[in-house]
A and B are shown apart, each in its own frame.
Chain A
Amino acid sequence: MPELSILAPAVLNGLTVGAVYALVALGLTLIYGVLHIINFAHGSLLMLALYAAFFLKVLLGVDPYLALPILATAFFFLGYALQYGVIGPASHGKEQNVLLVTLALAIIIDNLALYLWTSTTRTIDVPYGFAVVDLGIALIPVARVIAFLAALALAGLLSLFMTATDLGKAIRAVARERDGARLVGIRVEHVYAMSFGIGTACVAAAACLLLPTFYVTPQVGYAFVLVAFTTVVLGGMGSFLGALLGGLLLGVVEALSGLFLGESLGQIGIFAIFILVLLFRPTGLFGSRLA
């Protein structure tokens, strides 16, 4: 039985891990939560972004935080092109086809990465990698604090974008009633591709914030994609606030189950929560209005 003195630091540490989960889930909640595109390639795109940030740092000396705007822009176009050129046309508007197409994309991207960069675990070393912020009850790594604040900011920005911009309104319109949206002159394919692009840009941002305290291998996406789907369902489909709070909650749950059950079993708690949510509150914590 762990002592109470380490509970507070463990919870705070879990919150910062949860912020990273939230960052990955924010992109997914737009793609999956709003548009119902089941994007299995989400983890693979995260992996790709991590490699991009890694090589920018190693080959060109670009700090991951400075690489964030560059990669977010590049991945926005990549996401747009994927949806507009591959996923959209190949799925013929059927959700089960989308699932298969994104799964195929994931397999192709993962194996290409394995072929090109091998399964070697790669990390970068940044001067601030081990700096900490002393909160009195706990010492939290600076990079984690930055990721935490970035997750809050990103969730706020996305919420604002969805409610205050024309494109945000168009996305919501397409999500509600695709044919109706088309009738009033909204270019549905463009809106889908824009959403996918924005979701993919979020993944690139998450990768840049993640890399200073994490590693990259071709399999790294798997660890996040399942947690991200759990986060979206837990938070409520399409709710950015839900994704944020869901991610933070899962981080804390993982930290506590790691503490009580042993480090190798930390993720058990996450999936136990997933099953409980599906059983007792299938609309998620903030999803009632969409139910």
Chain B
Amino acid sequence: MIRTRTLSRRRVLAGTGAAVASLGFPAVLRAQAQVVKIGILHPVTGALSYSGTQARHGARIRIEEINAAGGIKSLAGAKIEPIYADCESKPDVTTAEVDKLADDGAALILGPYASGLALVSTQAAAKHNMANVVDVGVVDAIVERGLTNTFRFAPGLKKVTSTALENLVKINDAAGKPAKTVFIIHEDSAFGTGMAKLLNDELPKRGFTILGTEAHGTPTRDFTNIVLKVKAADPDLVIPANYYNEYVLFVRTLVQQRVQPKAVYSILGGGASSIKFVHEFNAEAQYVMDCNHWYDPRKPASKALTQKLAAQKIDLTYEVMLNYACMQLIEDALERAASADRQKIIAALAASTLSDHIMPYGPTKFVNGNNEGAQPVNTQIRGESIEVIFPKEFATAEAVFPIPHRA
């Protein structure tokens, strides 16, 4: 029996497919080698979802810019591949997500916004010898545990509060010392209570008299009684230390009950540096001052970011700014490391002296993972925007203090 081989249409197609594949595969393999995976870990669901989503936007925007500009040059134009992870505002989920990111081949991790989450993410990342660039996480314990993989770019609580008190004295002196008395309102967990104690210790040393300190729970939905006490005490300054919902409700109740202090001055204020507050309750938000994380608004990169956020309809908040800046820090470290090796990236971050980023910081200098070059600025809500009023070298507006009397 003789078999004849005919060239069927199916055979032709198969042969062509194989030929195309043999040409195509090397290209794909090459592209895979040119990728640096970075875990972008934030609480995008749960109680902190607003902040977490904002933070993710900041990282995403800078990653898109880096990739569009040709990737990491020292790695032959390697692109950055973000692996977005959600730690659901829960510490246990955060740990699990860090392990998953390590398994997925992340070279390092950026995140996870909140202090309570950062305390566990840094520890979990250390297990995999993976760098964790902490975007916010103000609690100083994060950088006081000897973890060599931890790099917190933003200033911590000690730095922020001491700067806030120094700046308060300067702003008050410049206006001819109109403020002599203070009333403190704080939420009754670790953050608010700690801040209230610190203010009670430090403000009298700086010549202020504290007329009252009132605690409240979270959530609180009625500030009338507290505001009545503030009204009776008639302080020059009101200092709130609480989270967004209570912050906004408290300030609104102040206006509702027609209490007119010379200023509302906050430190890491829950709502005071939030454009959401400015947009939703514009009249009540006017002239509120804060000492918080904020970018240097005069830098060209900051202006470009502001425009980009407006175009994408994303709120301009410090979470976006800090994550954008952290990606600038990571980009610089990757360029110098010229490797996606976890240990080399840790060494490059530790040696960073970067000053070309959007934050108003001095050159980066990590000491035990704490960026000694970082500092907060003072902001004030004016019209539809949040202006920097202090320090002078970054200011976009003069402080309005005491604030004008409301009609």
Residue of A nearest to B218 (CB): A121
Residues of A near B214 (CB, < 8 A) are 262-263
How many A-B pairs have beta carbons closer than 8 Å: the answer is 59
Give residues 119-144 of A contacting B (CB, 8 Å).
Answer: 120-121, 123, 125, 130, 132, 139, 141
Interface locus among A4-12, A41-49, A270-278 = A4-12
Residues of B near A263 (CB, < 8 A) are 214-217, 220, 225-226
Asked whether B221 lies within 8 Å of A214 as measured between CB atoms, the reply is yes
Q: In whole Å, how far is B372's beta carbon from the nearest beta carbon of chain A?
A: 38
Q: In whole Å, how far is B51's beta carbon from the nearest beta carbon of chain A?
A: 14
Asked whether A262 lies within 8 Å of B256 as measured between CB atoms, the reply is no
Interface-central residue, B188, B216, B221, B224, by most chain A CB under 10 Å = B224
**CA distance in complex: A10, B226 (Å):** 10
For the complex, is B219 an interface residue (Cβ under 8 Å from A)?
yes
For the complex, is A264 an interface residue (Cβ under 8 Å from B)?
yes
For the complex, is B145 an interface residue (Cβ under 8 Å from A)?
no
Interface locus among B228-236, B286-294, B312-320, B350-358 = B228-236
Q: In whole Å, how far is B255's beta carbon from the nearest beta carbon of chain A?
A: 8
Asked whether B225 lies within 8 Å of A258 as measured between CB atoms, the reply is yes
Residue total for A at the interface (Cβ-Cβ under 8 A):
28
Residues of A near B228 (CB, < 8 A) are 6, 9-10, 13, 259
Asked whether A141 lies within 8 Å of B217 as measured between CB atoms, the reply is no
Residues of B near A2 (CB, < 8 A) are 229, 232
For the complex, is B144 an interface residue (Cβ under 8 Å from A)?
no
Asked whether B258 lies within 8 Å of A213 as measured between CB atoms, the reply is no
Q: In whole Å, how far is B170's beta carbon from the nearest beta carbon of chain A?
A: 33
Asked whether A215 lies within 8 Å of B219 as measured between CB atoms, the reply is yes
Q: In whole Å, how far is A101's beta carbon from the nearest beta carbon of chain B?
A: 31
For the complex, is A17 an interface residue (Cβ under 8 Å from B)?
yes
Give residues 248-269 of B contacting A (CB, 8 Å).
Answer: 252, 255-258
For the complex, is A202 an interface residue (Cβ under 8 Å from B)?
no
Residues of A near B280 (CB, < 8 A) are 125
For the complex, is A205 an interface residue (Cβ under 8 Å from B)?
no
- Please name 29 pairs of A and B residues whose Cβ atoms are closer than 8 Å in the assembled complex, sorted by A: A2-B232, A3-B232, A5-B232, A6-B229, A6-B231, A9-B224, A9-B228, A10-B225, A13-B225, A17-B222, A120-B47, A121-B219, A123-B221, A130-B252, A130-B255, A132-B256, A139-B256, A139-B257, A139-B258, A141-B256, A214-B221, A259-B225, A259-B229, A262-B214, A262-B215, A263-B217, A263-B220, A264-B215, A264-B216
Residues of B participating in the A interface, judged by any CB pair closer than 8 Å: 46-47, 188, 214-217, 219-222, 224-226, 228-229, 231-232, 245, 252, 255-258, 280
Residues of A participating in the B interface, judged by any CB pair closer than 8 Å: 2-3, 5-6, 9-10, 13, 17, 118, 120-121, 123, 125, 130, 132, 139, 141, 213-215, 217, 255, 258-259, 262-264, 266
